[in-house]
Amino acid sequence: MPWAGSAGEAGRGGCSPGTVDMVLSPTVDRPVRVARAAVFTVFALNGFLLAMWVVHIPVITDRTGVSKSTLGMFILLMAGAGIAGMRLAGPLADRFGSRALVGTAACIASVAVVGPGLATGPLGLAPALACFGFGNGALDVSMNTQAVLVERAYRRPIMAAFHALFSGGGLLGSLLGAAALRAGWDIRMTLVLAAVGCVALTLALVPRLLRESGSGAAAPHDLASVHATDLDDAPPDHGTDAPPDHGTTAPASASRHDVMPHGSEAVLPPHLPAGERPDPHLSARDRGRKVFALAAVAFALLLAEGVAADWSALQMREHLGADAATAALAFGAFSTTMTIGRFGTDRVSHAFGRVAVVRYGSLVAAVGLGVIVVSPWIPLTLLGWTMAGLGLAGGIPQIFTAAGNLGSARAATDMSRVFSIGYLGLLAGPTIIGWLTAVMSLTKAMVVPMIAILLCCRYANVVAPPRAD
């Protein structure tokens, strides 16, 4: 039976919403559910490793004797190495598979996190941070490529939850790192224990990840199966201008074995939702344009996120005269709603589509920044940062899903390009704001990220899934 309802309807044939969810959701095989849990853990591991570096920055700077300006240059070096890792990881993941690259990159990042703790001077700290940045960049691309693969096997949006686990891992790392420092542990012992634990965890996780076939789709025996009674089409992406797809209904005999290699391409079954399968019709030129468009939107969203991370507390302190403890609540409000929002984004994306998440999320974030610019009160400013975090929560996961489904043979390469250009936005945002504060107040400079995300709202259709044939 083809899809005959809308997101706001109770369901098909008078079914309750709960019944609709059960009908629309395919029965997922245990290997795919295990792979999802493994990717969740990899994202959390990545956040944990970054947090272990961040919480020890004061100790590391004391041990190495580097100044704040020198540390800034070294962090820029780390970011540059991360971008290099991202760009290299894409082609390698396409050639050898994201599962192998997740294991390699996670082990590199885990071992490299020890380096800054062992450094005793600037000459030791610089290469240590470069190695850590390289491993982290490669892990970013490979784990997101694996996440797209798992999401495709799940046949519904689950990408945002992976990114929420990254934040959760960062919180865990911050708490454990702070506890170790409070207990007086030597930084080298803390980081070595973290590295050993993360390497052991990585080795346990890698066999549970999905394998690609020769073209970037999941290997046939790894994919989810679908019961014959559950093979109705999934709802259309309501965030696009494309009409609902009424023309494809899976045959009753469809199963996981419908996903079989065919020449050099993997043929995905017709009952997969359009947003969960690669677009095989893009030419190389069109794919390049789409990658650039996705990267531009990622750049703008991450620019706003970087501004919030680095300037939110100072903005509230400068504009409203808040004390340091109160000003810190600005970033706390932003990061909390961003994390919570990512846990709920997948359900919203499933109901209304990827475009709606980017468009209306960007609009909410822009309104939040507008509130911050004009607010004369601390509670109202905190509300603005809360709205900004909630609005920005779901955008980046939708972009990565779109980038990973542009073409099955180059998914990781496409994603690495989007990721690296987007990451430049994360670095550029705080820098641009810093330059602007020489000629205007910090609060007025917040208009720049507001305009950037309004442009994301305007061009949200870039994340739309391909039209069904």
* Per-residue tens of pLDDT for the chain, all 469 residues: 233 333 333 333 333 333 333 333 456 688 888 999 999 999 999 989 988 888 888 888 888 988 877 887 888 888 889 989 988 988 888 888 889 999 999 999 999 999 999 999 999 999 999 999 999 999 998 998 898 888 888 888 888 888 888 888 888 888 888 888 888 899 999 999 999 999 999 999 999 998 875 444 555 444 443 333 333 333 444 444 443 333 333 333 333 333 333 333 333 333 344 444 555 556 667 778 888 999 999 999 999 988 887 788 888 888 888 887 788 788 888 888 888 898 888 888 888 988 999 999 999 999 999 999 999 999 999 999 999 999 999 898 899 888 877 765 676 777 788 888 888 888 888 778 888 888 888 899 999 999 999 999 999 998 887 665 4
pLDDT of res. 190: 93
Give me the helix-helix angle, 122-154 and 57-64, nearest 10°.
150
CA distance 409 to 265: 8
Query: How many other CB atoms are there within 10 angstroms of residue 69's CB atom?
Result: 8
Positive or negative CA dihedral for 240, 152, 292, 445? positive
Q: Which residues pair with 218 in a beta bridge?
A: 212
| C-alpha distances out from residue 68 to 57, 65, 74, 92, 174, Å | 11, 10, 10, 36, 21
Phi–psi pair at 34, nearest 5 degrees: -65, -40
Structure tokens at 367: 């309104």
CA distance 167 to 336: 9
Sign for the CA dihedral angle at 158, 160, 166, 168 comes to negative
9 contacts: CB under 8 Å, gap ≥ 6: none
**Cβ-contact 206, 35 below 8 angstroms:** no
- Cα dihedral 423, 370, 312, 138 in deg (nearest 10): -10
Return the pLDDT at 283.
Answer: 66
Q: Which residue type occupies 352?
A: F
Write down the pLDDT at residue 31.
84
Give which of 253, 30, 205, 180 is closest to 104, Cα–Cα: 205
Amino acid letter, 91: P
460: tokens are: 């949200």
Strands 260-262 and 265-267: antiparallel
Which residues, at least 6 apart from 446, have a Cβ–Cβ distance to it below 8 Å?
Answer: 307, 311, 315, 369, 372, 373, 433
Residues 6+ apart with CB under 8 A from 198: 45, 48, 49, 106, 109, 110, 113
Q: Give me the pLDDT at residue 400, please.
A: 83
Contact in structure between 303 and 366 (CB atoms under 8 Å): no
